[in-house]
Structure 1
Amino acid sequence: MDLVRAFLSLRYVSIIAVISSFVGAVLLFILGALKIVGALGVLFLGKEPISLLIEAHGAESATSGVVILVINAIDSFLFALILLIFSYGIYTLFINSSLVEEDQYPSWIRIGSIAQLKLYLTQVVITILFVQFLEISIVSGEHLDWKAIVLPVSILCLAGAIYLMHAGNNEH
């Protein structure tokens, strides 16, 4: 009995993942906001889009620099949301499971199982990949080559896998 109690008390170690993910989410929200501020500076103050991010994507004009910064900000915000959902999911699953049934929280944040948490995380990852493809499409413009098809095919494969997993779970 003491071994079981000791093993169950180890679940509190997951607070490390909860706190770290939450801090990471806050940092990514700040990073996303800074990218938006940078885009405002480029657009309204005429600042040069000189960050390594813009140079790496080959932005030639201020407009394309703004677009790249905004799309990268969306990526940062989406990943921050992944970390928040992960942090809250781990907290409710391992530390305070009474929060799962509370009606004061929206249904999308009520995590009832690891499988549900993985599904949410996978859906957001697919969305991030779509945003990445959008960025590539905008930056490349008319100069897309055959390699650009890899990302949308990957997105379709991941979405199809989620659909099949969901359909398989509904049969039982």
Structure 2
Amino acid sequence: MRMLEIVFEKILWNSRLMVIVAVIASLLLSLLLFVITAVDVVALLTHVGDYVNASAEARKILKIEMVAHTVGAIDGFLLATILLIFSLGLYELFISDIDDAKNSERSSKVLVINSLDDLKEKLAKVILMILVVTFFEVSLSMGFTEALDLMYFAFGILMVSLALYFGSKSSH
């Protein structure tokens, strides 16, 4: 009976290595998002000439579009960062400590994860920033036709402000 228990516990302990699939997948998705977003930024930069040569009326439209694309790029980089933090966190929690990160003088506290709660807290902060950026991106294209639309927008700003306030309070 004791031998069966030892074998079962060994299998159970080594099953944590299945997490490596999630680590590799998250890392690849992160890399892919960094590349896709960087390509989008380069494409955006190629349209700077269009803005310079445009009429004053066309500049207003182009400016809003360029700001929206810039905010979208920030969103892409933030999501890629979430996937990177998730990948590093899962690896450190289930597989092994990352020795280079521990020994590095420039080691970031963002990447040091000691528990699932640490990982959730760090991910929640980045997700909150994505939501804020997305709210800003959507607000650029909003059309206010009634006073109630403006009230909803103000309420949204209040909610975003409260979320940022409480998010910063939780880290202290």
Give TM-score, length-normalised by structure 1.
Answer: 0.75
Q: How does 1:108-119 map to 2 (within 5 A)?
A: 108-119=110-121
SS of corresponding position for 2:141: helix
CA deviation vs aligned residue, 1:64-110 (integer Å, no higher than 9, x gap): 22111111000000000000000000011111136498231322211
Report the CA distance shift for 1:106/1:158 in structure 2 as closer, same or farther (over 3 A).
closer
In the alignment, is the contact (CA less than 8 A) between 1:130 and 1:155 conserved in 2?
no
Q: 1:106, 1:41 → 2: CA distance?
A: 34
**Partner in structure 2 of residue 57 of structure 1:** none
**Partner in structure 1 of residue 3 of structure 2:** none
In the alignment, is the contact (CA less than 8 A) between 2:71 and 2:137 conserved in 1?
yes
Q: 1:9, 1:100 → 2: CA distance?
A: 24
SS of corresponding position for 2:103: coil
Give the one of 33, 39, 45 matched to 2:38.
Answer: 33
Offset at 1:162? 7.7
Aligned length: 153
In the alignment, is the contact (CA less than 8 A) between 2:82 and 2:123 conserved in 1?
yes
In the alignment, is the contact (CA less than 8 A) between 1:126 and 1:159 conserved in 2?
no
Report the CA distance shift for 1:146/1:38 in structure 2 as closer, same or farther (over 3 A).
farther
Q: 1:121, 1:151 → 2: CA distance?
A: 22
Q: How does 1:128-167 map to 2 (within 5 A)?
A: 128-140=130-142, 145-148=150-153, 149-150=155-156, 152-153=158-159, 156-157=162-163, 160=166, 163=169
Q: How does 1:70-109 map to 2 (within 5 A)?
A: 70-97=70-97, 99=99, 102-104=102-104, 105-109=107-111
Q: 1:134, 1:29 → 2: CA distance?
A: 21
5+ residue gaps, structure 1, are: 47-59, 168-172
Q: 1:100, 1:160 → 2: CA distance?
A: 33
5+ residue gaps, structure 2, are: 1-5, 52-59
Choose between structure 1 and 2 for higher RCO, CA contacts under 8 A separated by at least 6 residues: 2
Give TM-score, length-normalised by structure 2.
Answer: 0.75
Comparing 25-34 with 70-79, greater Cα deviation is found at 25-34
Report the CA distance shift for 1:3/1:158 in structure 2 as closer, same or farther (over 3 A).
farther
- Give the counterpart letter for 1:12 in structure 2: L
- Give the counterpart letter for 1:97 in structure 2: D
Q: 2:111, 2:7 → 1: CA distance?
A: 34
Superposition RMSD in Å:
2.7
Q: What percent identity do the matched residue pairs reach?
A: 29
